Amino acid sequence: MFSFILKRVLASIPTLLVVYTVTFAIAHLTPGSPWDSASANRPMEPAAKAALDAKYNLDAPLHIQYVGYLWGAVQGDLGPSFRDPTQSVTDIVKKFLPTSLALGSMAIALAIVMGLLLGVLAALTRSRALETAILFFCTFCVSLPTYIITAVLIVTLGVGLGLVPTFGWKGLFSTSAIVPVVSLALAPMAAIARYCRNCVLEVMHKDFVRSARAKGVKRGRIIAVHILRNAIIPVVTVAGSYASSVLVGSFFVESIAGVPGFGRYFVLAVSARDYPVIIATTLVYAVIVVLCNLLVDIAHFIIDPRTREDVR
Amino acid sequence: MRKKVFLASMLAALSSAAPTFSTPAAADEGQTFRMIVQEPRFMDPNLVDDGGVAIQTQLFEPLAKIQNDGTLVYLQANSIERSSDGLTWTVKLKPENKWSNGEPVTAMDWEYSLKRILDPSIASGNAQFLTEIKGAKAYNSGETKDASAVHIKAVDDFTLVIETERVAPSFLAKLALPYITPVPQAVVAQWGERWTLPEHIVSNGPYKLVARVNDQSIEMNVNSFYAGKKPTIDTIRMTVASGDICEAQLRAYEAEEIDFATCIPIQDIQRVRQDATLAKELITNLDSGTWWVQYDNSHAPWDNKDVRHALSLAIDRNALSSVISDGTAAVANTIVPPGIPGANEDDAIKGNVETARELLAKAGYPNGAGFPPFTLTVRDSASQPIVAQLLQQMWSENLGINATINVMELKAFAAWVNARKNAPYDMITALWVSDYADPENWYGDLITDDYRNSHFRNEDFASLIKQAKVATDETQRIETYRQANKIFEEQQPMSALYRETSLWLVKPYVKNLRPDTTLRLYPIRDTEIVR
């Protein structure tokens, strides 16, 4: 198990290096420099621009900047933020990532619980109408873009009913979290529910389930031990891939609902051409994707004995 | 056990995220003013050169201000006198002025701050308001590193003497700008760039910053040391929005979460104006700014005046205003807005679509035949892609010429326009908003200094602007600008489209909140909440 994890961690290093290189290149190739203001009446004086370039080492050749930033990052120094010189990029990551992680964790937990419940219910119910309703609801949730869901929830729950604030963030355990959590949870919940239903239907007709029934094992035990345990394997894969995108935060959800999270900050950094923040946030995103994939593999390792054989 | 530890650590992580962004200590809601703002690019007042100045004016106060009616009111200054030769300006400060830490605001602070604005290493966009000061240009452009070569001198604790390079009639208007405010020398020296953090910052205006969470909230309390008119609102609570700030504001305003909204999304203007309650709370104010379509005057076919006239006369400006603002934007037929001395709407070119067709034929393109394909480049804002489509349609239907539209992201557009100094293009839409109500801000900064790269050259116009810049007789100065305006409109290097109207929503219990100066500031100092 340890060597398996070590192998996976080492294999992620080239991936992160490629991500860094591509992000660095795209950030620097995008038209507009950090010092071009989209809102000021006048362009910046050349002398002032040169002074800022010198201050942030942007006057050095690109390959020197590339190596310099990488060397700093390896040592834990992610550089200064151009957009806000009072904060370092490390400060920004520490400040904004926990909010997105907390929000994303809550959303993915809600998605897994609700997704499994709906999936099992859709598979086992004898009511055709209920099954159709669940499937319709799931298709609806997967098809709707999150920014529409967020806007609709704010208008109905916030402006219409006054149950939640229309904007802003007062912590995860406040009414301000309802809209972003639900918005983020709906699409993964629907996907998990559909996967879960299909897997349960498939496993239900396997020989070992029939044998268990024949032996007189109770229905609840068959569902929990024999069906769900086997049906959950593909569900874990789906949940893992959704988790990586939900955990780092969604720009749309965070912007519309006013959540000061990582996803929103990333897009603000791109608009501001804040190169160190763009690179750092992308790298953090890549690390989270790698970690989520690793966790999915570990989960498979635990749930599915066949994987353990493969690893050995 | 392991499960319990996991759950406990998850809960700890979740709850630790919560207080980080919890609202600052609750104040008496009756004395709290709530609004939504965009994250300011800077909290350092010497650096703020954009709309963020509306936030800064609550914290930092300039020497004076020019009111909506054009009269000057002193704020931090007791007097600003100009010498008889017009070159030396003596500023007497009010000795009772204090920073929010109780220290006096001195002439030394002002000398330090004005030179700091000019220091190229801090790259302040506001340096351009001070370049008329003797030695300022050389220092700001990096020619000299010696700040003492700039003729700004604190002669005693409360007297500041400034010398200008030449007679500069508009200098007083620039000194009265909200962009020109002092910073506390001792605090900046102690904390460097981090002096603007809430725990360090001190300010000289009616409010002081007490809390700020980046990209989430800004909170200000009354500055008890402020020597001017004391505010009646104790606390200003600003929530920071990104993305479409107008949409966030309208939703929060309708849900009674904020007391004031500074704009309305385009798609909601009609609904708000037709809503019985919201319509009563709507305050409209015509901006001192103009949107126009600008041709690259340096090459064909745009170097032909008849072509420029034809394109301008083929535009239905009422239709533009109707689509992008439900008719609240004012139709603009001339570039320089009314209220700026020299502006004259009678100078607008005359004619209609028929005249436009004749002029295009005269230029060699009857019914648009043979007109080269061209590109209209616009920024990706809420209104400009729509404006571009309407112009494309009007020119196609009225003149038979076809434009291709190129929409660019905001920063990319700004960089692209700045890079057009010597590079050809076809046309763009652009905006200029008055920094101060003096003609030099338009005829000088915008047109002569050509910040938008229109490549417009006209000797008669240039000579008149040169005369006006140093004219000491005010009547003669304005008359010279009027003559220049005539030439400019007749040449039509840019065709005015419309002037935006600020649409504010203000709750009925909020009194005395009015747009202030040409910059549409909202001085909360003078505002009251009467429930």
* Beta carbons of B17 and A172 less than 8 Å apart: yes
Tell me the pLDDT band of A312, cut-offs 50, 70 and 90.
Answer: low
In 3D space, the residue among B205, B199, B249 whose CA is nearest the CA of residue B228 turns out to be B205
**CATH class name, domain A89-311:** mainly alpha
- The alpha carbon of residue B79 is apart from the nearest alpha carbon of chain A, in Å, by 29
Residue with token string 């901006």: B287
Question: Residues 303-342, chain B: which have Cβ within 8 Å of A?
Answer: none
- Distance between CA atoms of residues B128 and B365, nearest Å: 43
Q: Parallel, antiparallel, or unpaired for β B427-433 and B374-379? A: parallel
Number of residues in chain B: 531
Q: For residue B31, what pLDDT is reported?
A: 87
Record: contact A41-B41, CB cut-off 8 A = no
CA of A259: which chain B residue's CA is closest? B216
Contact criterion met (CB below 8 Å) for B130 and B177? no
B196 neighbourhood in chain A, CB within 8 Å: 86
* Confidence band, pLDDT 50/70/90 cuts, at residue B388: very high
For chain A, how far is it from start to end, CA to CA, in angstroms? 9
Which is it for the CA torsion B284, B289, B290, B294, positive or negative?
negative
Beta-strand ranges (E) seen in B83-206 are 88-93, 152-156, 159-163
User: Exposed/middle/buried for A194, CB within 10 Å: 0-12, 13-18, 19+?
Assistant: buried
- The pLDDT score that the predictor gives to residue A140 is 92
How many CA within 13 A on the CB side of residue B529?
17
- Whether the pLDDT of residue A311 is over 80: the answer is no
Q: How many helices (H) and strands (E) does chain B have?
A: 16, 21
Residues near B343 by Cβ (< 8 Å), separated by ≥ 6? Answer: B334, B336, B337, B439, B442, B485
List of chain A residues whose C-beta atoms are within 8 Å of the C-beta of residue B213: 260
Q: What pTM was estimated for this model as a whole?
A: 0.85
Residue whose token pair is 């056990």: B1
Give, to the nearest 10 degrees, the angle between helix A89-124 and helix A262-271. 130
Average pLDDT, chain B: 91
Distance CA B307, CA B361 (A): 9
Place of tokens 């609806």: A140
Residue B272 phi/psi, 5-degree rounding, is -65, -40
The confidence band for B200, taking pLDDT boundaries of 50, 70 and 90, is very high
**Residue of chain A minimizing CA distance to B217:** A168
Residue with the larger pLDDT of the pair B117 and B10: B117
Containing B218, the helix (H) or strand (E) segment is: strand B217-222
User: Could you give the CA distance from residue A287 to residue B316 in angstroms, rounded to a whole number?
Assistant: 54
- Report CA dihedral (B206, B212, B218, B221) to the nearest 10 degrees: -30
Which residues, other chains included, contact B10 with Cβ-Cβ below 8 Å and sequence gap of 6+? A105
Output DSSP code: residue B525. Answer: G
Cis peptide before B301 (omega within 30 of 0): yes
For B239, the closest of A255, A256, A258 (CB atoms) is A258
Sort strands B217-222 and B235-241 into parallel, antiparallel or unpaired: antiparallel
Mean pLDDT of B355-368: 97
Report the amino acid identity of residue B127.
Answer: A
Cβ separation B22–A35 shorter than 8 A: no
Q: How confident is the model at residue B6 (pLDDT cuts 50, 70, 90)?
A: very low
In this structure, is the dihedral angle defined by the CA atoms of residues B465, B467, B468 and B470, taken in order, positive or negative? positive
The 10s digit of each residue's pLDDT in A33-46 is 898 887 777 778 88
How many Å apart are CA B97 and CA B113, to the nearest integer?
16
**What kind and span of H or E run contains A188?**
helix A178-204
Under 8 Å CB pairs connecting chains A and B tally to 182
Chain center to CA of B372: 36
SS3 B60: coil
Q: What's the alpha-carbon Rg for chain B, to the nearest Å?
A: 25
| B254 touching A (Cβ < 8 Å) | yes
Which residues of chain B from 55 to 84 reach within 8 Å of chain A, CB to CB?
none
pLDDT in tens, A11-39: 889 999 999 999 999 999 988 889 888 77
Q: Which residues pair with B235 in a beta bridge?
A: B32, B221
Q: Helix crossing, A89-124 with A275-303: angle to 10°? A: 40
What percentage of residues in chain A have a pLDDT greater than 90?
37
